[in-house]
Structure 1
Amino acid sequence: MDFWVSSQANLTHVTINLICSALAAAYASRLRGTLEFKMGQALTATVAIFGFYAVAILIGRLFFSRSMFAFAVVGAACVSILVVGLRHRLTRARVAIISPLVGEMQFSFPFARIVSDPSKDLRGFDIVLVSLNENVSADWARALSRAMLAGCKIRHVGQYMEELSGAVSLEHFEVEHLPPNGIASYQLIKRLMDIAMVVFILPMALPIILLSSLAVLLTTGRPIFFLQERVGLGGVPFRMWKLRTMRPELKGETLRAAVVGDSRVTPVGRILRRFRIDELPQFWNVLKGDMSLIGPRPEATPLHIEYLGKLPNYPYRYLVRPGITGWAQVNSPPSASADEARRKLTYDLFYVKNLSLFLDLQIIAKTFWTVTSGGGVR
């Protein structure tokens, strides 16, 4: 520490790092939603704050210490997570659900209070949930006005449910819920980032792919790669590459998604799937433009056709490129049935609706945890 503050430049650097850490902690203290969501937001904000500082260092050619900067980033991330955890345990928003104003919407908030009498004083609540599609009587309008004047937030119950769960309600999802400015602008930026990241990662990934290919060849023979038609951007089919982790399909065998403990998975395949190594050849699909690093998981054509007939909102997931990882992949297991596909679609549409760099950073963080913990493997 004496070395770090041994000069005016070092002292300035320490001060700015502390200010950045304080900003990250202050932002973390004001977050709302599920614990997981708030932690993801806190980490994203920490990366963004120190990212701006790093850009300022490069542009202004400011003095900095790599060890001090790294220590500050890690420390700020730990403090932000600690702040989120403590605040989550010590405080909980007081929520009121106005039952006459939520219509037929289904909800389940064990910590919320249902209010059906407009004479009830709502000023003791932090959040009041209503449906903006319902007609508001004069009595309820007065009650809501008093609450708003007292600083209470009036929220749409569906939007609040979406924030807590990270998934949309399919029954209430409409096309106008998609980003009002469209998604083309971010998709262009995202495409450039995909290419840059693959080019950066590929030298490290290639030796792993080669060794894994050799392991597949020596244990189960050819073919080494598994190519399958999947459906991508705009519903256009493409051939997706993977390292083969299952025995070849038998003659007349019906295509089906993998399930937990699937007997078709080979011993080497289980290791490759455990650490997602079998997905690495999809970097080629990303470079070709068939896929992105982050997006809804591409489905096989037969499953795509099946889900189209059962899930009316399913085509909206093809507004963005499919991804190697995505919001649904880190929150829900791969779909092996129409019911699981329906649950996964709620996350896919949440991603399309909230498409942003911050959400992509959260997915990257959750993907790292999923890979290291082995979650979601089939």
Structure 2
Amino acid sequence: MLVLLTALAHLLAFLSTDRMARYPGKESWGIAAFNLLLFSLLLVAVLALGRLYYSRGYVLTATFLSFPLLVFYLTRMPPVRLALVPGGVADWLRAHVGEKLPIARLDEVEGVVADLHHLDPEALPLLAEASLRGIPILHAASVYEGYTGRVPLGPHFNEGLMALAEMDRGLYPWFKRLWEVGLVLFLSPLILVLGVLVALLVYWDLGRPVIFAQERVGLGGRPFKAYKFRTMRGAPREGVYVGEEEARLTPLGRFLRRYRLDELPQFWNILKGDMSLVGPRPEQRVLAEVYAKEIPLYPLRHSVRPGLTGWAQVQQGYTEGVEGTRLKLSYDLYYIKHLSFWLDLRILVKTLWVIGTGFGAR
């Protein structure tokens, strides 16, 4: 009986998640976790009210095992059939992922995509008919975010400002700080052992000092000192891209950068409160001032604590220059807009892959 009821609860969670996460713009990890937790709690309530025997360990284990299966299923779902109404962000959407958005008759689609901030009045009858038929009307910016993991940035779009307006996550910022510090403290023996080993290697390679401090921009635009192991010969220079410093990198330095071991001292920045475990990567103060002049929405990334790892890093890797930074900003604003425990968890899981492969390292 317990096995059948558990299977039924998880089947309902699968069906509910399939319906909710099918449309682009939904955070599938969060939806999957919410539905599994909800139906598992309902299962426990039914078992308790019916005074049926059940093993809490079995229910917990079954739920944990179902979560990766559900996420895997979501990644294999066929693309939803959408009709695209031209105008605004929808035009960008057609250019970037047009092959996934066929324009068809309403009886052939499962949703209608339109930029609700730049809507052509001639499209209103189509949207009204779709609404009467019960076909979802999706905001083009949300669909764009779902396909690309980025917030659309452009001279005529206010989606970047919407990212800041929608960043209120209630108590999560406080919980985020607690679980990140707790995780760092839990891993501190491993971090210390690795740190001592890397420090000895750097001392053997470059001598003293083994750690250098560089001024970075943090929460609210306030500067702080970020610590890293040395990877280059000579004194560090402010406002210089890594690509311009290739000749100064030592072979050991390249190895440390590839596997992000040079950033181990920044765990101290996390404990101090300068940084988070997950968030936009902190930029050099000199470069941040330049970017703020060139990219109007750039300061929005300072509305959360910078992170040791972030959405832009696991999606894009290292970038430099104004255009590269504009692309990175579109990822950072997506993170701010969709900030949640499940997005942080997703980034941490992808970070393990980034570290193992050296993806995007410079």
Q: TM-score range by the shorter chain?
A: 0.7 to 0.9
CA drift of 1:352 comes to 1.1
How many angstroms apart in 1 are the aligned matches of 2:176 and 2:220? 17
Equivalent pair of 1:122/1:144 in contact (CA under 8 Å): no
Q: Which whole-Å deviations, capped at 9, do the CAs of 1:205-258 have from their partners, x for residues lacking one? A: 1011001111111122112012111010111111101111222248xx674222
| 2-structure distance, mates of 1:182, 1:103 | 24
Give 1:193 deviation, angstroms. Answer: 1.9
Whether contact under 8 Å (2:238, 2:284) holds in the other structure is: no
Whether contact under 8 Å (2:239, 2:284) holds in the other structure is no
Following superposition, the deviation at residue 353 of structure 1 comes to 1.3
State the Cα distance separating 1:26 from its structure 2 match.
Answer: 3.5
Q: CA 1:292 to 1:218, structure 2 compared with 1: closer, same or farther past 3 Å?
A: same
Partner in structure 1 of residue 356 of structure 2:
372
- 1:124 maps to which residue? 108
Confirm or deny: 8 A CA contact 1:44 1:358 kept in the other structure: no
Distance 1:232 1:376 in 2: 23
- Give the 3-state SS of the residue equivalent to 1:168 in structure 2: coil
Measured on the aligned residues, the alpha-carbon RMSD in Å equals 3.3
Q: Any conservation in 1 of the 2:281–2:306 contact (CA below 8 Å)?
A: yes
Look up the SS of the partner of 1:170 in the other structure: coil
User: Is 2:19 the counterpart of 1:26?
Assistant: no
In the other structure, the counterpart of 1:7 is none
Q: Deviations over 1:134-184 (max 9, x none)?
A: 4554x6433222222223211222221122111011222353443447357
Query: For structure 1, which segment, 338-347 or 143-152, has the greater mean C-alpha deviation from structure 2 after superposition?
Result: 143-152
Distance of 2:106 and 2:267 partners within structure 1 = 54
Q: Secondary structure at the match of 1:198?
A: helix
1:158, 1:169 within 8 Å by CA — same for their partners in 2?
yes
What amino acid is aligned across from residue 360 of structure 1 in structure 2? D
Q: Per-residue CA shift, 1:33-81, capped at 9, x if unaligned?
A: 67xx98x834873598469969x99xx9x84558x955x4664245324
The one-letter amino acid of 1:162's match is E
- Check 1:104–1:186 CA distance in 2 against 1; reply closer, same or farther (3 A cut): closer
Q: Supply the distance in 2 between the matched residues of 1:98 and 1:358 (Cα, whole angstroms).
A: 32
Report the TM-score, using the length of structure 1 for normalisation: 0.79
User: Are 2:209 and 1:223 aligned?
Assistant: yes
CA offsets 1:93-140 (integer angstroms, 9 cap, x no match): 2221222x548953321232347xxxxx42322121222234554x64
User: Equivalents in 2 of 1:258, 1:222: separation in Å?
Assistant: 21
1:95 matched to 2:85? The reply is: no
Unaligned stretches of 5+ in structure 1? 1-10, 116-120
The reply on whether 1:338 has 2:322 as its aligned counterpart is: yes
Task: Work out the CA distance in 1 between the residues paired with 2:276 and 2:109.
Answer: 43
Match of 1:187 among 173, 178, 181: 173
SS at match of 2:107: helix
Report the CA distance shift for 1:213/1:53 in structure 2 as closer, same or farther (over 3 A). Answer: farther
Q: Tell me the equivalent position of 2:224.
A: 238
User: Is 1:164 the equivalent of 2:147?
Assistant: yes
Q: Is 1:197 matched with 2:183?
A: yes
Q: Distance in 2 between matches of 1:342 and 1:200?
A: 36
Corresponding residue for residue 146 of structure 1: 129
Which of residues 41, 60, 64 is equivalent to 2:28?
A: 41
Q: Which of 262, 273, 276 lines up with 1:289 in the alignment?
A: 273
1:235–1:318 contact (8 Å) kept in structure 2:
yes
SS in structure 2 of the partner of residue 113 of structure 1? coil
Distance, in Å, in 2 between the alignment partners of 1:159 and 1:316 is 19
Matched, 1:112 2:101: yes
TM-score normalised to structure 2 length: 0.83
Rounded Cα–Cα distance in structure 1 between residues aligned with 2:320 and 2:260 = 18
Which residue of 246, 250, 254 corresponds with 1:266?
Answer: 250
Structure 1 residues 51, 266: closer, same or farther in 2, change over 3 A? farther
Change (3 A) 1:150 1:314: same
1:335 CA drift (Å) = 2.6
Could you list the per-position Cα deviations for residues 7-32 of structure 1 after superposition, in whole angstroms to 9, with x for gaps in the alignment? xxxx74x5676456545543553423
Change (3 A) 1:50 1:203: farther
Change beyond 3 A, Cα 1:360–1:42: closer
3-state SS in 1 of match to 2:92: coil
Q: Which residue in the other structure is 2:69 paired with?
A: 79
Work out the CA distance in 2 between the residues paired with 1:162 and 1:368.
24
Which amino acid in the other structure matches residue 141 of structure 2? G
Q: Which residue of 2 aligns with 1:299?
A: 283
Residues 90 and 115, structure 2, Cα contact 8 Å, conserved in 1: no
CA distance in 1, matches of 2:250, 2:35: 42
